[in-house]
């Protein structure tokens, strides 16, 4: 299809692989292979990746010199010189991840091994930019001190937040919350650390974190469901995060489903912390925390289980569609929902999908994600490690602000 004479209405973006990009890709492959294995010799890496022994040797030598790998003893047995085993060096790099949402602020300090060295979180209803700045400036020093990390060793800050944070009209949204649409996060976080700030969608960040340090080590392709104040999704295909044509892939929360009362509603109005909170309020339990509901209370437990049943039913058709369209290896549920409810939701949804989707050629199993509630913040922190970890196409796609 064409418009405006001979000008095509669509021009495909073709990305060539020059020597530098090929080298960065191979480096990521080597690091990921070692991370998945836990420890590996150069021969192991060459066998798994298909790279030549010379290429593996060059890459691992460079990573050892940079402090991103470290030796972990030698493998003995067989003939010849014992082979050195290599592991990822946790102290090779450090970063900070911040998760901003309509109900909380969370900040973590993460090392290159993906471990959270320190964290701080505050429950806060619809935090404004000034709240985020005060939270960051007031706590980043203590966070780094607790983590044992010098400020000069921090490579960058990653920020995870929902797309259109100030624009989407979710329950309780303040009238002036659209200030987020005009907020420069790099300027907001410019002090006290003069490091690059990388901004990412929260579900994408969580999926990237899961890809590197969670179930992505078992599933090269998966669909990630982030149950937060709203509902987000992320698409990982062949160990690469797929953003779609407009950078909005995975927006499952905006699909409309049966609301159970003869009408239609957005999926995130049911499957979200806001949806669970609404269920408690409608049951006369407005003081119950959706983050820590007292499941020993029979009334609280009954409402929570009823919500899980409704949420699982609402997820059935969207997940069958995801399985048919994307054919992922798994659908992973993560986010800030209490872990017991995540497990229950995953199990119930999996059962219903199997029953309703018998016509589908393939159905992805539904299971709990491996990373904890801080997955968006951890995933955001990983963005600061840049070309060492991220998929090949993400450098051009993600929004990066270099502080000067």
**pLDDT for 185-195, tens place per residue?**
999 999 999 99
C-beta atoms surrounding 307 within 10 Å:
23
At residue 391, the pLDDT reads: 46
Model's pTM, two decimal places? Answer: 0.84
How would residue 2 be classed by pLDDT, with cut points 50, 70 and 90?
A: very low
**pLDDT for 38-85, tens place per residue?**
899 999 999 988 999 999 999 999 999 989 999 987 665 555 567 889
Tell me how far CA of residue 138 lies from CA of 30, 120, 141, 157, in angstroms.
38, 11, 7, 16
At residue 398, the pLDDT reads: 42
User: Residue 2 — φ and ψ, nearest 5°?
Assistant: -130, 155
Strands laid side by side in the 366-368 sheet: 240-241, 231-237, 222-227, 331-335, 366-368
Q: Report the range of poorest mean pLDDT among 120-134, 205-219, 264-278, 295-309.
A: 205-219
Distance CA 37, CA 125 (A): 41
**pLDDT at position 1 over 80:** no
**pLDDT at position 311 over 60:** yes
More confident residue, 12 or 247: 247
Distance CA 141, CA 274 (A): 32
Which residue ranges form the domains of the chain, and what is each CATH number?
Answer: 19-75 (1.10.10), 93-201+397-401 (3.30.420.40), 215-370 (3.30.420.40)
Q: What is the percentage of the chain residues whose pLDDT exceeds 70?
A: 88
Distance CA 370, CA 224 (A): 11
At residue 18, the pLDDT reads: 56
More confident residue, 100 or 390: 100
Q: What value does the mean pLDDT of the chain take?
A: 87
**pLDDT for 320-360, tens place per residue?**
999 999 999 999 999 999 999 999 999 999 999 999 999 99
Distance CA 329, CA 316 (A): 17
């Amino acid at each position: 299809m064409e418009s405006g004479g001979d000008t095509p209405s669509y021009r495909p973006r073709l990305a060539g692989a020059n020597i530098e990009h090929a080298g960065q890709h191979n480096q990521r492959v080597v690091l990921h292979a070692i991370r998945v294995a836990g420890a590996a010799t150069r021969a192991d890496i060459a066998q798994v990746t298909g790279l030549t022994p010379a290429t593996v040797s060059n890459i691992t030598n460079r990573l050892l010199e940079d402090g991103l790998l470290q030796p972990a003893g030698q493998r003995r047995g067989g003939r010849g010189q014992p082979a050195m085993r290599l592991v990822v060096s946790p102290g090779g790099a450090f970063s900070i991840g911040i998760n901003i949402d309509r109900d909380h602020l969370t900040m973590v300090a993460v090392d290159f091994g993906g471990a959270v060295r320190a964290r701080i979180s505050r429950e806060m209803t619809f935090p404004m930019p000034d709240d985020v700045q005060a939270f960051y400036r007031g706590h980043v020093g203590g966070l780094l001190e607790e983590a044992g990390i010098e400020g000069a060793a921090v490579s960058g800050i990653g920020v995870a937040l929902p797309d259109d944070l100030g624009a989407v009209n979710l329950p309780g949204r303040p009238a002036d919350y659209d200030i987020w649409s005009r907020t420069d996060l790099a300027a907001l976080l410019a002090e006290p650390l003069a490091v690059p700030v990388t901004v990412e969608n929260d579900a994408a960040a969580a999926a990237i974190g899961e890809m590197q340090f969670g179930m992505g080590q078992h599933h090269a392709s998966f669909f990630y469901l982030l149950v937060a104040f709203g509902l987000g999704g992320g698409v990982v295909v062949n160990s690469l995060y797929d953003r779609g044509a407009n950078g909005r892939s995975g927006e499952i929360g905006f699909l409309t489903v049966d609301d159970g009362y003869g009408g239609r509603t957005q999926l995130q109005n049911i499957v979200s912390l806001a949806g669970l909170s609404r269920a408690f309020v409608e049951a006369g339990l407005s003081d119950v925390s959706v983050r820590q509901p007292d499941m020993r209370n029979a009334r609280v437990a009954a409402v929570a289980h009823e919500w899980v049943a409704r949420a699982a039913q609402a997820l059935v058709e969207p997940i069958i569609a995801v399985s048919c369209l994307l054919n992922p290896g798994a659908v992973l549920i993560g986010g800030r929902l209490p872990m017991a409810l995540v497990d229950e939701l995953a199990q119930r949804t999996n059962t219903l999908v199997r029953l309703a989707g018998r016509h589908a050629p393939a159905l992805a199993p539904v299971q709990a994600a491996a990373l904890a509630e801080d997955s968006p913040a951890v995933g955001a922190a990983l963005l600061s490690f840049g070309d060492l970890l991220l998929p090949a196409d993400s450098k051009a796609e993600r929004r990066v602000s270099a502080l000067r």
